[in-house]
Structure 1
Amino acid sequence: MYPYQPTPEELESMETWFAEYDALAERGALEELADRAVFPMNLATDVPGGYAAVRQWTRAEYIEAMQHAIGTGTAGLDLESTRTPRFVSENLVVVETEATMTIEGRRQHMHYADLLVRTEDGWAFQTMVQGGWGHGWPAARRG
C-alpha cells in the first residue's frame, strides 16, 4: 500500500545506520564510509554560475572528495545532524538532513539529501544531493 509506512523497526534501522555512519565520519574512516555505499554513486550538485550538475562517482573519487571535505580523522570533526527519512518503499529511503559540521572550530551548516537502498548486506547510500561539490569540475563534467 502506498504511501509506504515504515515500521518502528525500519525507522530504528535508519537511526542506527546513520549513527554508525556519523561515528565513522568523525573518525575519518573513509574506506569504511565507502563500504557503506553502492558504486557508481550518483551525485547531484551545483557548479559556479548557477547550474545544476550531475555525475557518477567511483569509489576512488568518493574517497578523494571526502578526504578533502572531512580529512582522515585528524581535523577534529564534529557532526550534529537532524535527519528525516522518507520511505518510498521498504527498500528505498530518501533521507533529508540538516547538519552542522565543525572542523577545527569552523562551523558549516548544510542541507542535503541521500538515497539509501536496501542491499543483501543492509542499507547503503547510492545517491547524494548536495550543493557545492561541483567546484572545479571541467565544463564537460557538469551535465
Structure 2
Amino acid sequence: MIRRITVCLAALVLTSPVWAQDQEHKGAPPAAKGSVTPVDMSKMGPWTRKPTHEAKTRKEVEAWFKEGDAIMKRRDFEADIARADFPIYMATDDSKGIPTAETYDRRKYTEMMKPMFEQIPADTQMNHKLDITVLSDSLVSFTDDYTMTMGGKKKPGRLTGLLVKRDGQWKWKAFFEAGWGEAQTSAVGGSGTSGDQEKPK
C-alpha cells in the first residue's frame, strides 16, 4: 500500500503543471505536452535511507523497552510521557471486531492515561519477546509478544507499533493492540511499556 501511494504521489508531482513550470525556471527543457518528465528516483525513497547501524539500533530499542518497564514500575508518568512523539496514533478493535483509531495530543493522552498509570500495581512485571524491523536509523517498527505478570497471574498479549528517533532519543509514535474497544476511560494502546496498562474488566 505504501509503495502504491509513493508511486501515485510521484506521478502526480511529475505531471503537475506547477512542477513543470518550476523546471522551466531552472533551465530544464520543457516536457512535451502529455509526456512525463523523468526524475532521478535514486535520490528519494527507502533506498536512500538504508540502516547504517542496524545492530546498534536494535540494542537501543531493546534498552528503550527495559527503560519503559522501570518507568512503569515506579509510576513516573512524566518520564513516561516524555517518551512519546506527539501527536501519537493508537488503534484497537472491540469484541465484535470493529476497529477504532484515534490521534492524541499531549493533553488528551494525559487526561486519559495518567489516572490509570498511577494505579499500576507495584508487583507488575513485563517479559518481552520483540520482533524489531529497522527501517532506517530513525524509524523502527516492532511486534511485542509480551507476558504481563500482575498479582501473581500471567497474561499474554501482543502489540505492534512504530518508534521514531527524535533529537537523538527514541520515542513512540504509534501503538496497535486488539481488544480495548469497549474501554471508555482508559488508554487505547493496551499493555505496553509506554504508559499502557491492563484495563479493568
TM-score clears 0.5: yes
The question of whether the paired residues in 2 share the 8 Å contact of 1:29 and 1:73 is answered with no
> Mean Cα displacement is larger for which, 59-68 or 18-27?
59-68
**Structure 1 counterpart SS, 2:58:** helix
1:113 equivalenced with 2:160 (yes/no): yes
* Matching residue within 128, 131, 136 for 1:81: 128
Aligned length: 136
Equivalent residues in 2 for 1:1-143, closer than 5 Å: 1=47, 4-5=50-51, 6-63=53-110, 64-65=112-113, 67-68=115-116, 71-137=118-184
Change (3 A) 1:94 1:103: same
Change (3 A) 1:120 1:86: same
**Structure 1 counterpart SS, 2:128:** strand
* Higher RCO structure, 1 or 2 (CA under 8 Å, sep 6+): 1
More helix by share: 2
Change (3 A) 1:41 1:24: same
Identity of aligned residues (%): 24
Deviation string, structure 1 residues 25-64 (Cα, Å, up to 9, x no partner): 2222222111100122100111232111110123344343
Question: How far apart are residue 134 of structure 1 and its match?
Answer: 2.2
Structure 2: distance between partners of 1:84 and 1:56? 25
* Runs (5+) with no aligned partner, structure 1: 138-143
Tell me the amino acid that sits aligned with residue 129 of structure 1: F
**Structure 2 counterpart SS, 1:20:** helix
Question: How far apart are residue 128 of structure 1 and its match?
Answer: 0.3
What TM-score comes out, normalization by structure 2 length?
0.59
Larger Rg: 2
Tell me the amino acid that sits aligned with residue 15 of structure 1: E
The question of whether the paired residues in 2 share the 8 Å contact of 1:40 and 1:59 is answered with yes
Structure 2: distance between partners of 1:114 and 1:102? 21
Structure 2: distance between partners of 1:105 and 1:66? 24
Structure 2: distance between partners of 1:66 and 1:111? 22
